[in-house]
Amino acid sequence: MKILVTGVAGFIGSKLSEELFSRGDDVVGIDILNDYYDVKLKEARLKRIEETLSKNDPAKKGSFRFIKMDLADREAMEGLFANEKFDKVMNLAAQAGVRYSIDNPLSYIDSNIVGFAHILEGCRHNKVKHLVYASSSSVYGLNESMPFSIHDNVDHPVSLYAASKKSGELMAHTYSHLYQLPTTGLRFFTVYGPWDRPDMALQKFAKAIYDGKAIDVYNYGKHRRDFTYIDDIVEGIIRVLDHVAQPNLDWNGQTPDSATSPAPWRIYNIGNQQPVELISYIETLEKHLGKTAEKNLLPLQPGDVPSTYADVTDLVNDVDYKPSTTIDEGIKAFADWYKIYYNVN
């Protein structure tokens, strides 16, 4: 297949692209390469993609091309879709970060709403067979029912980041309903692992530890997160890409199911199903770095939720999703990468 991966220089997009062309797909990756965080890390991920491609068996591998492009550039996006004629699309490009959205809310409109509208239009006019897009566990907002179920109400977000992701789900449903465009949204639960973003917990903690600075631990370390390893996330994405969304023929408007539709539209949680306290997460990182962190214990921050816990029953039933990486294995892999990439011991 010919697959568009947006946000290809990102943490998830770069790893996904490697897996797709390694199995024989032709991948076109786009990214704006903005300076939300260190551009050198994004460039290093792109270099890693090329190195992986060069090592593959030429008889079995697909191809990869990178195009620098902004989702918010309407004309460029129209031209991309018209020229490339993608079979499927994985939209991972977004302005990320719950905390960044507290002080910079408008930056989320251009990428997460306007940019996503351009993706939807491109898919609509060019007969894309399946659009899969990144949503977030943040959409659960004030919902306190655990584990979070895709059949729960998610109408009370607590950050504009979460609201923009919920907006994407609604926009996708409209296109599935009006134009019969198959779309599937994936609510990611705290993805971690090697090559992650510097603004994510592991890199922030590791940097502070090596710099001899205290780490800010919100909610006094009692946060519970459904940390999900990057390889498990990517496997789930690929299984969903291959499983084109179908209408739910039993859907009833009097008792509506929030995760399905009479249109070809689906929502799934994608997580590890094993929430871990933040303080335990930090202790595991300390173990694998061989260093102890000084901790600055703080109350819950605005925009944060105290716990996340994914119910992935539907994903298991529909695509046989089985995350297998333990927190200890995943953090060890991160620590090993961090020491090499940043040249620390």
Largest alpha-carbon pair distance within the chain? 60
Q: Where does residue 293 fall: left (phi above 0), alpha (psi -120 to 50 degrees), or beta otherwise?
A: beta
**Cβ atoms 137, 269 nearer than 8 A:** yes
Nearest to 263 by CA among 166, 184, 155: 184
Cβ neighbour number for residue 96 with a 10 Å cutoff: 22
Catalytic residues: 161
Q: Which helix (H) or strand (E) holds 135?
A: strand 130-136
Q: Which helix (H) or strand (E) holds 120?
A: helix 116-125
What is the CB-side half-sphere exposure of residue 177 using CA atoms within 13 A?
9
Q: What b-and-e string marks burial along 26-63, b requiring 16 or more CB atoms within 10 Å of the CB?
A: bbbbbbbbeebbeeebbeebbeebeebbeebeeeebbe
Rg (CA), the chain: 20
Residue 300, token pair as written in the block: 């819950």
d(CA 130, CA 145): 31
Nearest to 229 by CA among 201, 191, 281: 191
